[in-house]
Amino acid sequence: MCKNAQIFSLLVLLVLFMAACGQIDEIAGQVSQWGSDGNLVGIIFKNGVECLGEEAQPLPSDVIYVSPEGDDTQPGTRDLPLGTLSTALCNLRPGQTLEIFPGEYHESVILGAFGDSSKPIIIRAHTEGASHPILDGESTRTMGMALVESTNIIIQGLEFRNYTDEGLLILDGSGISILNNSFTANGRASIDPDHDGEGFGVNVLGAENILVEGNLVMDNGPNQARREAYTLGTGINTFGNHNVIIRDNTVYNTIGGGILIEDSFDVLVENNRIERNELDANGGYWDGGIWVDGGHNITLRNNQIADNHGPGIVLSDEDVQYPGESFGYIVEENVLSGNIVGISIWNWGQCPIEDEKIIRLNDNRFSGNEEGDTWCVEWECGEGQPCN
């Protein structure tokens, strides 16, 4: 049941981007790095390119262009664009904007320690009519883009689809904005053992000052065989973050939850549409349209949560962290309709929860939820037991 234990190992793996030691070992397209102590470090991925900000060789212009019809020997101007995302992304400096022309890019790029607080790096679609750029993993690449220990970066208007683990990964970064992108059919067959077979549209881990706004997130999550093995994914997956805003997104048809907020604090989730997500892991409704577990000072406001096959909202203390964590949940003015249940609350050892310092429910509207507006279970996982 524990959705995101992987964060602890992933944060340790940041050694890859903080020290250039060891050597690259490529086996069957899987790239990893062995440190001097003989232990494996780094992000596990297939068929991708990784690069470090300190090794970038930026072009002089403030605006760089890339196109599937371009060429990496060209200067990256509008008329003479670069030809690959990896070349363009791996050589950006603070203050530059990368304009990505429409077309398909069959690439995966992992950026380590890019950007600083002085000026943003902007990575955005250069749209022409109805055409837009598509990053397509062809079900063989791990993630479309990963930002590791990176700062002050805006990703805007791109489509990420058919990546095995997630469309976009943010790991231990700050000042990242994810705006008006789409994430489709990612996470079907995760290769990272830390994901336990789960898959995500967007995956944000151990980061701060994050904005996820205006994105369309649909049809993400693991394949049917993994679901039948009690595995669910998440459309927008977040863990261990600080100061996060998730708003105005649409998340639907996930094999798993719409939005997960776990072990994070100072989080606002508002004005999202969460619809038709599959929350049944082969008979157990333990996921939610929006699921909050652990952390504190988390507000869910004015979200439209409808027709999910399971609970619309889940509020839980999965790891029995209260009173140190798992408090300060404000749930207000949400509309919950057509779900199996409106709001599911569990693992605080008390029902109802009368202490508003733990959970405060205000002016939520319910209609047509099959098993009622609210469930409360004192101990979902055994008296005083975490759900590991």
Write the pLDDT tens digit of every residue in 325-353.
999 999 999 999 999 999 999 999 999 99
At residue 211, the 3 state secondary structure works out as strand
At residue 314, the 3 state secondary structure works out as strand
Cα distance between residue 85 and residue 66, in whole Å: 7
The bridge status of strand 265-270 relative to strand 290-293 is unpaired
- The whole-number pLDDT of residue 42 equals 60
Predicted confidence band of residue 37 (pLDDT cuts 50, 70, 90): very low
Give yes or no for residue 135 having a pLDDT over 80: yes
Mean of the per-residue pLDDT values of the chain: 89
Lowest mean pLDDT among 3-7, 119-123, 125-129, 219-223: 3-7
- Which residue carries 């009173």 as its tokens? 323
- The whole-number pLDDT of residue 55 equals 95
Q: Is 363 exposed, middle or buried (0-12, 13-18, 19+ CB in 10 A)?
A: exposed
- The whole-number pLDDT of residue 25 equals 31
Q: Is 382 exposed, middle or buried (0-12, 13-18, 19+ CB in 10 A)?
A: exposed
Give yes or no for residue 20 having a pLDDT over 50: no
Q: What is the mean pLDDT of residues 52-72?
A: 96
At residue 163, the 3 state secondary structure works out as coil
Cβ atoms of 165 and 48 closer than 8 Å = no
CB atoms under 10 Å from CB of 9, counted, come to 11
Q: What is the mean pLDDT of residues 198-210?
A: 97
Q: Higher confidence at residue 332 or residue 24?
A: 332
At residue 316, the 3 state secondary structure works out as strand
Predicted confidence band of residue 97 (pLDDT cuts 50, 70, 90): very high
Lowest mean pLDDT among 45-54, 111-120, 144-153, 191-200: 191-200
% the chain with pLDDT above 90: 79
For the chain, the structural domain boundaries read 6-287
Q: What is the mean pLDDT of residues 46-55?
A: 93
Q: Higher confidence at residue 5 or residue 345?
A: 345
**CATH topology for the 6-287 domain:** Pectate Lyase C-like (2.160.20)
Give yes or no for residue 9 having a pLDDT over 90: no
Q: What is the mean pLDDT of residues 138-161?
A: 97
- The whole-number pLDDT of residue 376 equals 96
Predicted confidence band of residue 6 (pLDDT cuts 50, 70, 90): very low
- The whole-number pLDDT of residue 3 equals 54
Give yes or no for residue 286 having a pLDDT over 60: yes
At residue 192, the 3 state secondary structure works out as coil
Q: Higher confidence at residue 304 or residue 388?
A: 304
Predicted confidence band of residue 34 (pLDDT cuts 50, 70, 90): very low
Q: Higher confidence at residue 235 or residue 2?
A: 235
Lowest mean pLDDT among 93-102, 120-129, 334-343: 120-129
Give yes or no for residue 32 having a pLDDT over 70: no
Residues 181-190 pLDDT 10s:
999 999 999 9
Cα distance between residue 15 and residue 333, in whole Å: 43
Q: Identify which of 186, 260, 250, 191 has the alpha carbon closest to the alpha carbon of residue 222.
A: 186
Give yes or no for residue 19 having a pLDDT over 90: no
- The whole-number pLDDT of residue 36 equals 32
Which token pair is 349? 């050892």
CB atoms under 10 Å from CB of 333, counted, come to 13
Give yes or no for residue 317 having a pLDDT over 50: yes
Cα distance between residue 352 and residue 33, in whole Å: 50
